[in-house]
Amino acid sequence: MATAFIGLGSNVGNRKEHLGRAREQLGRIPQTKRIRFSRWIETAPMGGPPQGMYLNGAVEIQTALEPETLLLRLQEIEQLLGRPKRHARWGPRVIDLDLLTYDDKIVQGPDLILPHPHLHTRPFVLAPLAEIAPDWIHPVLNQSAKELLEALVHANH
């Protein structure tokens, strides 16, 4: 079984309800089990049109699915929960599920990049990840989630 981390976000409607439903659906993915959840944190949107505040979090899972198959399952959950297949880049969303990491795999494909290419630059991703897996090591940058978050916080002050 591989360990993967998934970032969750919502800034439309009842954000906690959407995130709770997404977390529940993650537990229904075949050959996959949820291990740990972060708390929800409220964050300002980055870029895009004017929009409401996000709630963000992270979930650690173990899965026997390959990364590409897992990504498809995440996209299916997004659609099930009301996210249109086509959506505005950086626009408001009912639910956003990002495959952040999959073991220590490094993937550079047209539909999937692992680890997530912006993981280390986004506090709304790193804070929940560092909460549940502070010692996770970024396979490209060779720094822990905690170190990456500390560097990001330091750089923004």
Domain map (residue ranges) of the chain: 2-116
Mean confidence (pLDDT) of the chain: 93
CATH code for 2-116? 3.30.70.560
Residue appearing with tokens 């899965």: 63
Alpha-carbon distance of 124 to 54, in angstroms, equals 9
Residue appearing with tokens 């996959």: 32
Cβ–Cβ < 8 Å for 140, 106? yes
Please state whether the predicted TM-score (pTM) of the whole model is above 0.95: no
Q: What are the tens digits of pLDDT across the range 74-124?
A: 999 999 998 876 666 667 889 999 999 999 999 999 999 999 999 999 999
Residue appearing with tokens 């993981």: 119
Minimum mean pLDDT among 21-35, 47-61, 86-100, 127-141: which range? Answer: 86-100
Give 122's contacts (C-beta < 8 A, 6+ positions apart): 46
- Cα torsion at 44, 98, 92, 89 (round to 10°)? 110
Q: What is the CA radius of gyration of the chain?
A: 15
Q: What integer pLDDT is reported at residue 89 of this predicted model?
A: 67
Query: Which residues are catalytically annotated?
Result: 83, 93, 96, 98
First to last CA, the chain: 39
Q: What integer pLDDT is reported at residue 47 of this predicted model?
A: 78
Q: What integer pLDDT is reported at residue 108 of this predicted model?
A: 94
CA 111, distance to chain mean position in Å, is: 16
